[in-house]
Chain A
Amino acid sequence: MAANTPSQPLVEVKGLSKHFGEGESRVDALRDVTISVEAGEVVGLLGPSGSGKSTLLNAIGSIIQPSEGWMRLDGEVVYDNRWLSRDLRHMRLEKIGFIFQTHNLLPFLDATDNVAVVLHLAGVPRGDAIKRSEALLDYLQVGHRKHAWPSQLSGGEAQRVAIARALANRPRIILADEPTAALDSVRAGIVMDLLRKLAVEQQAAIIAVTHDDKIFDRFDRIFHLRDGRLDDGGDQL
Chain B
Amino acid sequence: MNLAWRDIRHKLGRFVLTCFGLSLLLSVVVMMAGIYRGQTSDALALLRAIRADIWIVESGTLGPFAEASSIPGDTREMVARINGVVEAGSITMQNVQIERSGRKVRLQVAGYEPGRPGGPIHLVAGREITRSHYELIADRQTGLAVGEMIHLGRNDFTVVGVTSGVVTLSGDSIVYMTLRDAQQLQFDLAPSATRREAARGAQRTQTDFVNAVVARLSPDVPPEEVAEIMRRWKHLSVLTGTEQEVLMTRTVIERASKQIGLFLVMLTIVSAVIISLILYTMTMDKIREIATLKLIGAPDRTIIALIVQQALMMGVIGFVAGTVLVYLFKNNLPRAIVMLPSDIATLFGLVIVICLLASMLGVRAALRVDPGRALVG
Nearest CB in chain A to that of B371: its residue? A63
Nearest CB in chain A to that of B7: its residue? A108
* Interface-located stretch among A110-118, A180-188, A190-198: A110-118
In this assembly, does B302 line the interface, its C-beta being within 8 Å of a C-beta of chain A? yes
Q: What separation, in Å, do the CA atoms of A108 and B302 have in the docked complex?
A: 15
CB distance A89 to B375 under 8 Å?
no
Q: Residue A104 contacts which of B3, B7, B9, B295 (CB distance < 8 angstroms)?
A: B295
Q: What separation, in Å, do the CA atoms of A220 and B297 have in the docked complex?
A: 28
CB distance A108 to B298 under 8 Å?
no
CB distance B295 to A63 under 8 Å?
yes
Q: What separation, in Å, do the CA atoms of A212 and B216 have in the docked complex?
A: 103
* Interface-located stretch among B103-111, B176-184, B286-294: B286-294
Q: A89-110 vs B: 1/0 string, CB under 8 Å? A: 1101110101011101111110
From 74 to 101 in chain A, residues with beta carbon under 8 angstroms from any chain B beta carbon are 87, 89-90, 92-94, 96, 98, 100-101
Smallest CB separation, B242 vs chain A (Å)? 63
Chain B contacts for A87, CB-based, 8 A? 299
In this assembly, does A64 line the interface, its C-beta being within 8 Å of a C-beta of chain B? yes
Chain A contacts for B372, CB-based, 8 A? 58, 63-64
Known: A63-B371, A116-B1, A126-B1. Contact between A90 and B297, CB under 8 A?
Answer: yes
Q: What separation, in Å, do the CA atoms of A100 and B9 have in the docked complex?
A: 26
Chain A contacts for B293, CB-based, 8 A? 106
CB distance A109 to B375 under 8 Å?
no
Chain B contacts for A64, CB-based, 8 A? 372
- The interface residues of chain B, by DSSP majority, are classed as helix
From 40 to 97 in chain A, residues with beta carbon under 8 angstroms from any chain B beta carbon are 54, 58, 63-64, 87, 89-90, 92-94, 96
Chain A contacts for B131, CB-based, 8 A? none
In this assembly, does A165 line the interface, its C-beta being within 8 Å of a C-beta of chain B? yes
CB distance A101 to B1 under 8 Å?
no
CB distance A92 to B292 under 8 Å?
no
Smallest CB separation, B291 vs chain A (Å)? 8
Q: Residue B296 contacts which of A93, A102, A108 (CB distance < 8 angstroms)?
A: A93
Q: What separation, in Å, do the CA atoms of A2 and B372 have in the docked complex?
A: 27
Chain A contacts for B296, CB-based, 8 A? 92-93, 98, 117-118, 121, 165
From 132 to 147 in chain B, residues with beta carbon under 8 angstroms from any chain A beta carbon are none
In this assembly, does B374 line the interface, its C-beta being within 8 Å of a C-beta of chain A? yes
CB distance A121 to B302 under 8 Å?
yes
Nearest CB in chain B to that of A101: its residue? B375
CB distance A104 to B6 under 8 Å?
no
Q: What separation, in Å, do the CA atoms of A105 and B289 have in the docked complex?
A: 8
Q: B1-45 vs A: 1/0 string, CB under 8 Å? A: 101001101110000000000000000000000000000000000
Chain B contacts for A146, CB-based, 8 A? none
CB distance A121 to B298 under 8 Å?
yes
Smallest CB separation, B140 vs chain A (Å)? 53
Chain B contacts for A104, CB-based, 8 A? 292, 295, 374-375
Chain A contacts for B102, CB-based, 8 A? none
Q: What separation, in Å, do the CA atoms of A223 and B294 have in the docked complex?
A: 29
Chain A contacts for B371, CB-based, 8 A? 63, 89
In this assembly, does A19 line the interface, its C-beta being within 8 Å of a C-beta of chain B? no
Smallest CB separation, A109 vs chain B (Å)? 6
Q: B338-377 vs A: 1/0 string, CB under 8 Å? A: 0000000000000000000000000000000001101101
- Listed by A's residue number, 25 A-B pairs whose Cβ atoms lie within 8 Å are A63-B295, A63-B371, A89-B297, A89-B371, A90-B297, A90-B299, A94-B297, A96-B297, A98-B295, A98-B296, A100-B295, A100-B374, A104-B374, A105-B292, A106-B292, A107-B10, A108-B3, A108-B289, A113-B6, A116-B1, A117-B1, A118-B297, A120-B1, A121-B296, A121-B297
What residues make up the interface of B, taking CB atoms closer than 8 Å to A?
1, 3, 6-7, 9-11, 289, 292-299, 302, 371-372, 374-375, 377
What residues make up the interface of A, taking CB atoms closer than 8 Å to B?
54, 58, 63-64, 87, 89-90, 92-94, 96, 98, 100-102, 104-109, 113, 116-118, 120-121, 126, 149, 165
19 other A-B residue contacts (CB within 8 Å) besides A89-B298, A92-B297, A121-B298:
A63-B295, A63-B371, A64-B372, A89-B297, A90-B299, A92-B295, A93-B297, A93-B298, A98-B296, A100-B374, A101-B375, A102-B374, A104-B374, A104-B375, A108-B6, A108-B9, A108-B11, A117-B1, A120-B1
